């Protein structure tokens, strides 16, 4: 049977299901054509070939450098709105009806941008998409290696924006750079102003980073969290407390995070521990992380999960989890 005659990995019925996506960085959704348009606008024209070459990494640090580079072309409200509009069209084409978009507000502040004006533009664009059947909410994200003081400024920016569309505070970046305990006051402040709490942990770090995020910061969802496979007691804790992992298979392969967790020089989708985590009762949701930068889509991630050994009936449960574990409601 030739590849073009092979049956589709997912049924048409599954593909048509309404879906939610919860771990999606706006900056990481910048398609090469959009990067080129923004670069030209800002007086530094580049080719799609250069963008493509930048969107290739051999490790996590390489990805971080590429993320810094591409996000440098986002300089004002119009730029952010352009990216959200492009992303929204792509999500609608995949039957995504709800998405929580992570904004690297820590980077905006580092670059002395007006966060409130940027967000006003995004909120207006989100309203336009709501009329088309796609609901957006937003997560204000700090950068771990910038430290606790910078993270607190992200929380303060969320408070200043005072929008019901800002539903959570999170921290990404290099999880091995600053101990979790240093952010305790920041997360307490985020919770006090009505934001949910989440954190990237157990991506390139170990199970210890996941445990600390839960115990010290009270996080309600974990970004990635694949290191949980090394700690059966932690998997049991996640299952018992219903703390979901935001699993992004293609991202884990492209950044080398999966290979790092498996202790190998290389690892592919077939080796992803998503089936193990799911079958141990750990709540999981499936996401793209940085879809343009990892050359993926939400449908492609469900196909990846199928190739990793998940059954379509199991994937249908994960689709439901995307809505169940969303932050559509403020914490009580």
pLDDT given at position 294:
95
Average pLDDT, the chain: 95
Give the pTM.
Answer: 0.94
pLDDT given at position 1:
40
Question: Could you tell me the end-to-end alpha-carbon distance of the chain, in angstroms, rounded to an integer?
Answer: 55
In angstroms, the Cα distances linking 276 to 124, 227, 300 are: 41, 12, 20
| 301 a catalytic residue | no
Q: Which two tokens stand for residue 95?
A: 């039957």
Helix, strand, or coil (residue 291): coil
Tell me: pLDDT of 5 over 70.
no
Percentage of the chain surpassing pLDDT 70? 97
Asked if residues 185 and 148 have their Cβ atoms less than 8 Å apart, the reply is: yes
pLDDT given at position 61:
87
Q: Which of 203, 209, 212, 246 is catalytic?
A: 203
Domains of the chain, earliest start first: 12-324 (3.20.20.140)
Per-residue pLDDT tens for 293-321? 999 999 999 999 999 999 999 999 999 99
Helix, strand, or coil (residue 332): coil
Cα–Cα distance for residue pair 103/326, rounded to 1 Å: 16
Cα–Cα distance for residue pair 98/17, rounded to 1 Å: 12
Q: Please report which confidence band the pLDDT of residue 279 belongs to, taking 50, 70 and 90 as the band edges.
A: very high
pLDDT given at position 2:
39
Per-residue pLDDT tens for 154-188? 999 999 999 999 999 999 999 999 999 999 999 99
Tell me: pLDDT of 88 over 90.
yes
Backbone angles phi, psi at 45, to 5 degrees: -55, 140
- Greater confidence (166 vs 328) lies with 166
Tell me: pLDDT of 329 over 70.
no
């Amino acid at each position: 049977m030739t590849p073009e005659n092979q049956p589709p990995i997912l049924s048409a019925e599954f593909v048509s299901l309404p879906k939610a996506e919860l771990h999606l960085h706006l900056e990481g959704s910048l398609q090469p054509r959009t990067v080129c348009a923004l670069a030209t606008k800002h007086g530094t024209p580049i080719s799609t070939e250069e963008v493509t070459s930048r969107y290739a990494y051999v490790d996590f640090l390489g990805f971080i450098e590429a993320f810094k580079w591409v996000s440098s072309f986002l300089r004002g409200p119009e730029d952010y709105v352009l990216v959200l509009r492009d992303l929204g069209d792509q999500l609608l084409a995949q039957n995504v009806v709800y998405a929580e978009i992570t904004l690297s507000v820590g980077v905006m502040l580092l670059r002395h941008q007006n966060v409130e004006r940027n967000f006003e533009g995004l909120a207006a664009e989100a309203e336009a998409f709501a009329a088309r059947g796609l609901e957006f909410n937003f997560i204000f994200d700090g950068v771990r290696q910038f430290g606790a003081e910078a993270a607190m400024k992200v929380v303060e920016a969320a408070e200043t924006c005072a929008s019901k569309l800002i539903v959570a505070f999170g921290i990404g970046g290099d999880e091995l750079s600053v101990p979790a305990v240093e952010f305790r006051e920041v997360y307490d402040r985020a919770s006090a102003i009505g934001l949910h709490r989440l954190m990237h942990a157990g991506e390139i770090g170990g199970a210890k980073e996941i445990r600390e995020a839960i115990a010290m910061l009270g996080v309600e969802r974990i970004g990635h969290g694949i290191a949980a496979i090394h700690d059966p007691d932690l998997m049991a804790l996640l299952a018992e407390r219903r703390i979901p992992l935001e699993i992004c298979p293609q991202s884990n392969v492209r950044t080398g995070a999966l290979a790092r967790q498996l202790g190998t020089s290389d690892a592919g989708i077939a080796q992803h521990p998503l089936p193990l985590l799911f079958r141990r009762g750990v709540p999981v949701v499936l996401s793209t992380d940085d879809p343009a930068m990892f050359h993926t889509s939400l449908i492609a991630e469900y196909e990846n999960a199928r190739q990793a050994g998940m059954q379509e009936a199991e994937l249908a449960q994960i689709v439901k989890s995307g809505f169940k574990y969303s932050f559509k409601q403020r914490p009580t």
